[in-house]
Structure 1
Amino acid sequence: MQTVKDKQAASDALIILPEGDIASPKGFTAGGVHCGIRKSKLDLGWLYSEVPAVAAGVYTLNLFQAAPLKVTQASIANDQLIQALVVNSGVANACTGEQGLKDAYQMRDQLASKLTVKPEHVAVASTGVIGELLPMTNVSKGIDMINPSAQTSDQFETAILTTDTREKGIAVQITIDHKTITIGGAAKGSGMIKPNMATMLGFVTTDAAVEATALTDSLKSITNDSFNMITVDGDTSTNDMVLVLANGMQENNALSKEHPEWETFETALHYVCEYLAKEIARDGEGATKLIEVEVTGADTKQTARQIGKSVISSNLVKTAIHGADANWGRIITAVGYAGEALDPDQVSVKLGDILVVENGVPVTFSEPEAKQYLEQSTVLIQVNVGKGPEQATGYGCDLSYDYVRINASYRT
């Protein structure tokens, strides 16, 4: 059993690469092109590994699952290996019936032919407007433009964006089996973000050798504490996907839960996923602030997560934070309707370090001091619900006037 000290040691061993990105791990290249799906922005991204990589994925819970997700899941189910990825922005290829599925398979097969890899080793992703067919002539032209020897990973980060205001990428390094292991990642997401996935795409790469079952189990567990703990507006989209590829090119002993340095790897993977999740929350449509809700003292992890999601999803909390209004009653209300058993007389709430509720009743605090704190770009809400051992953190953003403006004209 790993102790807190063990986990801290694993975290301390992690090095963040200032210029790192999804193509930083050995053997990966990435890029982006403009093919004409969108008027002028880059709209087609690609990722390639020199060798097939062990793959793991998690997907949206929305029942209207887009065609690209079905294709990607079929590819991974074949032998859990992926060597290349193609992703477009502008059109989601969701709710497009049989033709949409054919188009997604055409993207897969054309990229496979272009890169001389097996079709079942290609993943496909799309993001954008729902219910429109892809302009396949443009998409085909874009795939023909892909050049694995031209490293433009910053363009990959740009090509996958929709209403995002900035690119989201990171890379870290750790040492395992005396080998330098790199983990890189990129993501998009700004609106239609809800706990339990979101309108987001997340892609993570590593040159570590990892056993398939261990990678899948780890991604699912980490997603519950990262991508499944973010919200912008309470909507879950049709295209959400997180994909992790491990190509093993550093030739370490294959990682599994039995490997003595498994905790080091999993801590680094968790860091990358959590970083990308927070960047998505920070870049919520119209957002001006990142909100973190830290729940402690819960009897179970599920209780902590559910309460955190409830508070971070409350539009009344989000608007209060936007207006720098220390209206703690909205926080307490969200805690109370989370659906988890708790004793209200044990609940305490802090805005940053400012105590506003203790044991279920208000305490005197400085309104000007609280307002000044809430005007910061990052706001921490601390909720203690008892003396239990579990905790969880949810990530979201404020809800501003710009959110309505952006979504009132999304298709135009």
Structure 2
Amino acid sequence: MPMKRISYKNIASPKGFQATGIHCGLKHKKKDLALLISEVPASVAGVFTTNAIKAAPLLVTKDVVYQTGKMQAIIINAGNANACTGKQGMTDAYAMQKLTAEKFGIANNLVGVASTGVIGEIMKMEPVTNGIQQLEPIDELEGAISFSQAIMTTDTVTKNTSYQTIIDGKEVIIAGTAKGSGMIEPNMATMLGFITTDANIESSHLQTALTSITDITFNAITVDGDTSTNDMVIVMANGLAENKTLTPDHPDWEDFIQTLHAVAQDLAKMIAKDGEGATKLIEVEVKGAISNAEARKIAKTVVGSPLVKTAVFGNDANWGRIIAAVGYSGATLDPYAITIHIGVTKVVENGEPVPFSEKDLIVYLKQPEVKIFVDIHQGNGQGTAWGCDLTYDYVQINATYRS
């Protein structure tokens, strides 16, 4: 059976998972403390920011992923990143881990910690401590919705997706929730992603699976080119679907990979679309590069160009900005072999302008999703990246973020 998207499922839908989110007081009114927990210790995999400066909770969670290899719960707060907070930051991150473990009767080293919000402010631990005692996770939609709301910062919408597939005749569900709408340049960035599955798979193979899809999903989006201190994607697999243990040699391995890829790509595109102040999702598809990696480099350079982003915002069919970004991407290319389409409209062929209807293209650029296609005719490499337009609201949001 091929994978199938299931809109009525959520991050708590895979067997044995529960979630919740509450307001504890780090934010003025909105939910700001979330918990995801598995009935049993789960295999875990993670990818983390490449920023040399890493927040305290991220360091705690990396230890759980890479040293313990299992995770049963993760506690997340919004409103304070607990980054650049020195020894006190580590003390507070470990306190969040310990309090959660004690509340739910599990080992400290089975609890991950994630934080998002303002950098450089010491965590207010009293509301967090009290909030953890109030957490009552459930395996129903209400809990999943509360969870996705409680991890938001400048997001305008929650980001959720889920798919099911069949492995060894067993229904396996993979579901995900994410937050992020600014500083997205994975590598990763101010992005948190949480994926759950009831598939039976060891942590090492789960890490292989996550790593294999990261470059073409979470690392293929950009909002503003910044790289944050806190960002991570965590996948938990608790095995309660009771399929035979998945490995790369398993006959259903590719079905699992494709389903995990679908979840990751959905979340990545949702993040790009919800960029701070954004009005449009931009997709750049590149083919003809000397490798897939080169194609992705070109695609991400184009979608990350401030001039391309502002042109899309202004409904300006300024293809010169696109070809300029292709040129400075650092990829191998021949300037006289480049073809560019905006939507279905060809604007460049063999590096030279092609007559087109400006009026028709403006109509296309007013759509909520804009696709740009680039063929550089150098090889068989293909790649896609996603981003958003750059608007007046982006400047306003980030000019007043702390105030």
- TM superposition score normalised by structure 2: 0.98
Gaps of 5+ in 1: 1-11
What SS is found at the alignment partner of 1:225?
A: coil
Amino acid at match of 1:377: P
Q: How far 1:148 sits from its partner (Å)? A: 3.0
What SS is found at the alignment partner of 1:232?
A: coil
> 2:139 and 2:196 mapped to 1: Cα distance?
18
Are the aligned partners of 1:103 and 1:136 in contact in 2 as well (CA < 8 Å)?
A: yes
Of the three residues 41, 64, 67, the one matched with 2:53 is 64
Are the aligned partners of 1:293 and 1:382 in contact in 2 as well (CA < 8 Å)?
A: yes
Are the aligned partners of 1:210 and 1:246 in contact in 2 as well (CA < 8 Å)?
A: yes
What residue number does 2:64 align with?
Answer: 75
Are the aligned partners of 2:273 and 2:388 in contact in 1 as well (CA < 8 Å)?
A: yes
What residue number does 1:142 align with?
Answer: 131
What residue number does 2:90 align with?
Answer: 101
Amino acid at match of 2:43: V
> 2:149 and 2:202 mapped to 1: Cα distance?
31
Are the aligned partners of 1:195 and 1:309 in contact in 2 as well (CA < 8 Å)?
A: no
Q: How far 1:75 sits from its partner (Å)? A: 1.4
> 2:300 and 2:190 mapped to 1: Cα distance?
17
Q: How far 1:149 sits from its partner (Å)? A: 4.3
What SS is found at the alignment partner of 1:336?
A: helix
What residue number does 1:285 align with?
Answer: 276
What residue number does 1:168 align with?
Answer: 159
Q: Encode CA deviations 1:142-162: one digit per residue, 9 max, x unaligned.
A: 100011347411000000000
Of the three residues 292, 299, 319, the one matched with 1:308 is 299
Identity among equivalent positions (%) equals: 54
> 1:408 and 1:349 mapped to 2: Cα distance?
35
Q: How many residues align?
A: 401
> 1:195 and 1:346 mapped to 2: Cα distance?
30
> 2:222 and 2:59 mapped to 1: Cα distance?
24
- TM superposition score normalised by structure 1: 0.96
Amino acid at match of 2:54: Q
> 2:326 and 2:186 mapped to 1: Cα distance?
16
Are the aligned partners of 1:196 and 1:229 in contact in 2 as well (CA < 8 Å)?
A: no
> 1:23 and 1:150 mapped to 2: Cα distance?
5
Q: Encode CA deviations 1:343-369: one digit per residue, 9 max, x unaligned.
A: 111110000110000111110000001
Instruction: Tell me the C-alpha RMSD between the 2 structures.
Output: 1.0
Of the three residues 6, 11, 30, the one matched with 1:22 is 11
> 2:231 and 2:186 mapped to 1: Cα distance?
12
Q: How far 1:17 sits from its partner (Å)? A: 1.1
**370-379 vs 297-306, greater mean Cα deviation:** 297-306
**187-196 vs 107-116, greater mean Cα deviation:** 187-196
> 1:122 and 1:131 mapped to 2: Cα distance?
24
Q: How far 1:317 sits from its partner (Å)? A: 0.1
Are the aligned partners of 1:54 and 1:212 in contact in 2 as well (CA < 8 Å)?
A: yes
Of the three residues 73, 91, 112, the one matched with 1:123 is 112
What residue number does 2:335 align with?
Answer: 344
Of the three residues 297, 315, 330, the one matched with 1:324 is 315
Gaps of 5+ in 2: none
What residue number does 2:218 align with?
Answer: 227
What SS is found at the alignment partner of 1:260?
A: coil
Of the three residues 367, 378, 382, the one matched with 1:376 is 367
